[in-house]
Amino acid sequence: MSAHLEDYAILGDTETAALVSRDGSIDWLCLPRFDSAACFAAILGGPHRGRWLLAPADEPSATRRAYRDGTLVLETEHETPTGVVRVTEAMVPRGGGEDPDLCRLVEGVSGEVEMRMELAVRFDYGSAIPWVRHLPEGVWAGAGPDAVLLRTDVELHTAENTTVADFVVHEGERFGFSLTWYPSHQSPGELRGDPFSAVYEAEQWWQEWSSQLKYDGGWREAVERSLITLKALTYAPSGGIMAAPTTSLPERLGGVRNWDYRFCWLRDAALTLDALLLAGYLDEARAWRDWLLRAVAGDPRQLQIMYGPNGERRLPELELHWLEGYEGSRPVRIGNGAAGQRQLDVYGEVIGTAYEARCAGLPFEETAWALERHLLEYLESGWRDPDYGIWEVRGEPRHFTHSKVMAWVAMDRAVKTVEQFDLNGPSDRWRRVRDEIHAEVCQQGFDPQLNSFVQYYGAKGTDASLLMIPLVGFLPADDERMRGTVDYVQKTLTDGGFVLRYECEEEVDGLPPGEGAFLACSFWLADNLAMQGRVKEATGLFDRLLSLRNDVGLLSEQYDPVSGRLVGNFPQAFSHVSLVNSALRLDRAMAGDTAVLDVSET
């Protein structure tokens, strides 16, 4: 059985990521990219589906771990009856085409500790046992297109298709391990020297990046850790931003809502960029804009809600029948069928983020503005169409209120772009469309009897995405309709004080009900409370949300208040984006400012 999600930390090189548990087992790693087939899939099927264990041979009496300040370099100390040992691990950010490299260091802190290493490589999501060869520098394992090279000075042997090492580390001794992936038909590229220097290189890289953070509010530690996590989810070669590094971690334990999030959702990426821009990171915005131009080029009617890391369009959804699933949650899926859905809100996210990037100082790019105009031209009439909504329901398309609000955002930011940056565009026409959308949403998306905005036109229930209405400036937070919506969300969509996305109805959803509270929505509730002047309530909810982070500051997509467990893919960009933005809003609210966040003010 795999560890609880709360027990995992992330290691990453801005091209892929690994999950390592408190007990020293790397249970998830896809190489060489986020969306590549996993070579360690124990989190979805147990140790026999691939993992890399490095830990004391006997269960330690205490384990402490933390990231080095400002980095994604993880240090774990295990205390045993005979001594204390420290394991330091990191992935080195690549550049210039180097092969991915995962390094782990073992250091004796005091006394002596017997250590155990088990490397069980299982390519293609745990289905392919590789051929293994022992070499002077370590062990080579390969199958099909994939090969890995484990380099270490520790003596290795093979037992039951697993490479094993048993060794003793004394106080002051150090041992290093380095696992490098490369195409099996090639020789490994130039190696980065010893793993100790590689970890130092990774530490320096992350510290340089995090030192650029422009935030001095009351939650710096949480904001910095979230931003580092978001940076780890960027795909450096293209500028794409991943929603999460994992697939099929369930929204409810034992349930069927298990999706592959190793792709670039335009929505998630746009919101991530907003958070990075507010924190002063402009390079990521420039890289994402360039990725966007490549990914969405063509007919605006063919705009997808998500793409592969390099802008790939075909993301076929498959089920991996040989994997048992996280705690028995089946099916395990790769690919995502929602890629073919029409979701109007992404137009608003794309146009809105482009506007924010210009406000932050991103230089004008004619091709980018031409693309935005192309998208807006379609949306002038396309906003009237039904869609599948922000939550990607698998029922019939509907006129989702949030989708219409985000179509309004697209038109609103287009008008502001023309007015503030003196760009060429039919702003009068866009203004008329903007006003038409606004009037329709207020008339058809609001139910006077419920005193709340509703999930879709004619619905008798609300939706937590409607908490975005004041966050994007559609209505003020203290508008009576928004006060009513917030009250109704709190009345009907909360569990243990945390917010559910909506009432899961199979007729609408197309799936059996059952999921946890959605963490991003819970942060949005805190935002609304803060913007309504209910700062004490907002701060209390925000602090409760911070308490859900694990010991190294990470959040998943959802939280199960009944079991007290994190659920959903992990770590989740949407959750960490929302944390950052909530911290910024709370800082402002505590200073008496409840206006919409504007990147031009930072």
User: What is the mean pLDDT of the segment spanning 332-344?
Assistant: 93
pLDDT at residue 274, rounded to an integer: 87
pTM: 0.96
Ranked by mean pLDDT, which of 12-16, 192-196, 288-292, 365-369 comes out on top?
Answer: 12-16
Q: Give percent helix, percent strand, percent coil of the chain, each to the nearest 5.
A: 35, 25, 40
The number of domains in the chain is: 2
Q: Are residues 176 and 317 in the same domain?
A: no
Pick from 277, 198, 235, 225: nearest CA to 70:
225
Read off the CATH number of the domain in which 101 is found.
2.70.98
Q: Are residues 185 and 291 in the same domain?
A: no
Q: Are residues 351 and 469 in the same domain?
A: yes
Report how far apart, in Å, the C-alpha atoms of 63 and of each of 7, 60, 595 are. 11, 7, 44
pLDDT at residue 510, rounded to an integer: 62
E strands present in 240-281: 240-241, 264-265
pLDDT in tens, 437-472: 999 999 999 999 999 999 999 999 999 999 999 999
Q: How many CA atoms lie within 13 A of 452 on its CB side?
A: 22
pLDDT of 141 strictly over 60: yes
Q: Are residues 201 and 218 in the same domain?
A: no
pLDDT of 202 strictly over 90: yes
What is the percentage of the chain residues whose pLDDT exceeds 70? Answer: 97
User: What is the mean pLDDT of the segment spanning 119-143?
Assistant: 96
pLDDT of 514 strictly over 80: no
Pick from 68, 107, 61, 115: nearest CA to 90:
68
The DSSP bridge partners found for residue 141 are 132, 148
pLDDT at residue 302, rounded to an integer: 83
What's the rounded Cα separation, in Å, for the pair 387 and 377?
Answer: 18
What's the rounded Cα separation, in Å, for the pair 178 and 198?
Answer: 9
pLDDT at residue 299, rounded to an integer: 80
pLDDT at residue 301, rounded to an integer: 78
Give the distance from CA 500 to its chain's centroid.
Answer: 19
What's the rounded Cα separation, in Å, for the pair 519 and 578?
Answer: 8
Q: Are residues 165 and 311 in the same domain?
A: no
Judging by beta carbons within 10 Å of its beta carbon (0-12, 13-18, 19+), is residue 458 exposed, middle or buried? exposed
User: What is the mean pLDDT of the segment spanning 317-334?
Assistant: 97
Read off the CATH number of the domain in which 429 is found.
1.50.10.10
Q: Are residues 185 and 101 in the same domain?
A: yes
Q: Are residues 365 and 343 in the same domain?
A: yes
Q: Are the C-beta atoms of 102 and 91 separated by less than 8 Å?
A: yes
> Taking the alpha carbons of 315, 320, 324, 329 in that order, is the dihedral positive or negative?
positive
Higher pLDDT, 235 or 192: 235
Question: Mind spelling out the 3-state secondary structure of 325-378?
Answer: CHHHCCCCEECCHHHHCCCCHHHHHHHHHHHHHHHCCCCCCHHHHHHHHHHHHH
Triad 216, 220, 221: Cα angle to 5°? 160
Q: Are residues 276 and 324 in the same domain?
A: yes
Domain finish residue from 209, 224, 255: 209
pLDDT at residue 72, rounded to an integer: 98
Strands 452-453 and 17-21: unpaired
Q: Are the C-beta atoms of 130 and 239 separated by less than 8 Å?
A: no
Q: Are residues 181 and 264 in the same domain?
A: no
Cβ count near 102 (within 10 Å): 28
Give the pLDDT band (50/70/90) at residue 602: very low
pLDDT of 298 strictly over 90: no
Report how far apart, in Å, the C-alpha atoms of 95 and of each of 10, 98, 99, 386, 485 are. 20, 6, 9, 44, 48
Q: Are residues 439 and 557 in the same domain?
A: yes
pLDDT of 333 strictly over 50: yes
Q: Are residues 102 and 231 in the same domain?
A: no
Beta carbons within 8 Å of 572's beta carbon, 6+ residues apart: 243, 244, 261, 519, 555, 556, 557
pLDDT at residue 598, rounded to an integer: 66
Q: Are residues 292 and 430 in the same domain?
A: yes
Cβ count near 323 (within 10 Å): 24
What's the rounded Cα separation, in Å, for the pair 411 and 240?
Answer: 25
Q: Are the C-beta atoms of 215 and 223 separated by less than 8 Å?
A: yes
Beta carbons within 8 Å of 180's beta carbon, 6+ residues apart: 99, 100, 101, 102, 148, 149, 151, 188, 191
Domain finish residue from 178, 209, 240: 209
Domain finish residue from 209, 234, 269: 209
User: What is the mean pLDDT of the segment spanning 347-357?
Assistant: 93
What is the residue range of 326's domain?
A: 212-601
pLDDT of 509 strictly over 70: no
User: What is the mean pLDDT of the segment spanning 518-538?
Assistant: 97
What's the rounded Cα separation, in Å, for the pair 441 and 34?
Answer: 39
